[in-house]
Amino acid sequence: MSGDPIPQRPRINLASDNVVGASARVLDAIVRANADAEPSYGADRYSARAEALLAEVFERPLQAWLTATGTAANALALAALCPPWGAVLCHAESHILEDECGAPEFYSGGAKLIGIPGVAGKITPDGLSDALARLSPGVARSVQPAALSLSQVTEAGTLYSLDELRALTALARRHGLRCHLDGSRFGNAVEALGCSAAAMSWQAGFDALSFGATKNGALACEAVIVFDPALAASLPFQRKRAGHTLSKSRLLGAQMAAYLEDGHWRDNARQANAMAARLAAALAALPGVRLPWPTQANEVFAVLPAALAARWREAGIVCADWASRGLPEGYAIAADQRFVRLVTSYATTPEQIDAVIGAA
């Protein structure tokens, strides 16, 4: 009923970085853009400003299409790189394979996603080589290898080094594949590696990028970025057909511009990463808590005693239960333990982290 009170929210919610709202800077930009009358469907000055800032951040000319969701950004980017009869090679636990309800297959017109196993969310060159060896280029009865998609940050919260990225894209290119980077937490990865956006994208061999802003301070805004104009010809039509060519596109452009200006995206990512490091260090010191791999960005994965997880629930502290695939070999989880993910954001404070540890 409309008069029912809103349920009380958890005291501290670390289930995802999607649970927090937009930053004040981004909200202010939306309000300012909302007051203007602007051309529709991407012809506004805010969208032009956003694309110019993206070119500045990535240190080269590029083409960018703003969308409201990461699923759309990933699916449209892959549709530009992969034909309907093609195959996209990705990690077996990647977001595009497990969490997007077949959107990449749908938007590409039927391309097949092939998952490659790997510890801690990462594909190795040997794993990629094995997957490529099982395909049959030029054989009409087989999907054709067309694209490699990597996630940075990975689904396990880990990072590829720049050398690892370059090794994988070089291997893919030797087999004629285009390369896509799922960068839903791109800012967290760049900040953690201490590198430039250019170094972790086109300089590392990627043709297209899904550039995420929503998890790091935007309200609902992502970008499909393509570095090769030849690959971009279909994207205006694919985005329109997908329902992501917004009539009031200035509200996307305003978000992206505010997100990028004055390094706001990196400041937000730096705060989120610092809070994750603080949390990971404190958790590792607790009896019975294990971290299966290092915390490298803003996601902490931990094996907890079930009793500790219960205490957190009672205290209103929320984390996400996680599947145990991708753990290091021999890393067992007992019946009285829980494997969880905790995600910090630009809005997470030291006081919240201390409260989580205090409730343990």
Contacts of 230 (CB under 8 A, 6+ apart): none
How would you classify residue 136: left for phi > 0, otherwise alpha for psi between -120 and 50, otherwise beta?
beta
Closest CA to 309 of 344, 342, 347, 354: 342
Please tell me the distance from the alpha carbon of residue 314 to that of residue 308, in angstroms, as a whole number: 10
Residue 10 is classified by DSSP as P
Regarding pTM above 0.75, the answer is: yes
Q: Residue 134 is encoded by which pair of tokens? A: 């099982």
Tens digit of pLDDT per residue, the chain (360 long)? 456 665 556 689 999 999 999 999 999 999 999 998 999 999 999 999 999 999 999 999 999 999 999 999 999 999 999 999 999 999 999 999 999 999 999 999 999 999 999 999 999 999 999 999 999 999 999 999 999 999 999 999 999 999 999 999 999 999 999 999 999 999 999 999 999 999 999 999 999 999 999 999 999 999 999 999 899 899 999 999 999 999 999 999 999 999 999 999 999 999 999 999 999 999 999 999 999 999 999 999 999 999 999 999 999 999 999 987 889 988 989 999 999 999 999 999 999 999 999 998
* DSSP secondary structure, 279-323, as one string: HHHHHHTSTT-B-SS---SSEEEEEEEHHHHHHHHHTTEE-EE--
Cβ atoms of residues 96 and 74 within 8 Å: yes
Q: Residue 308 is encoded by which pair of tokens? A: 């500790």
Name residue 86's beta-bridge partners.
144
Closest CA to 202 of 178, 223, 221: 178
User: How big is the CA angle at 206 (ends 205 and 209), to the nearest 5 degrees?
Assistant: 160
| CB count in 10 Å sphere of residue 263 | 11
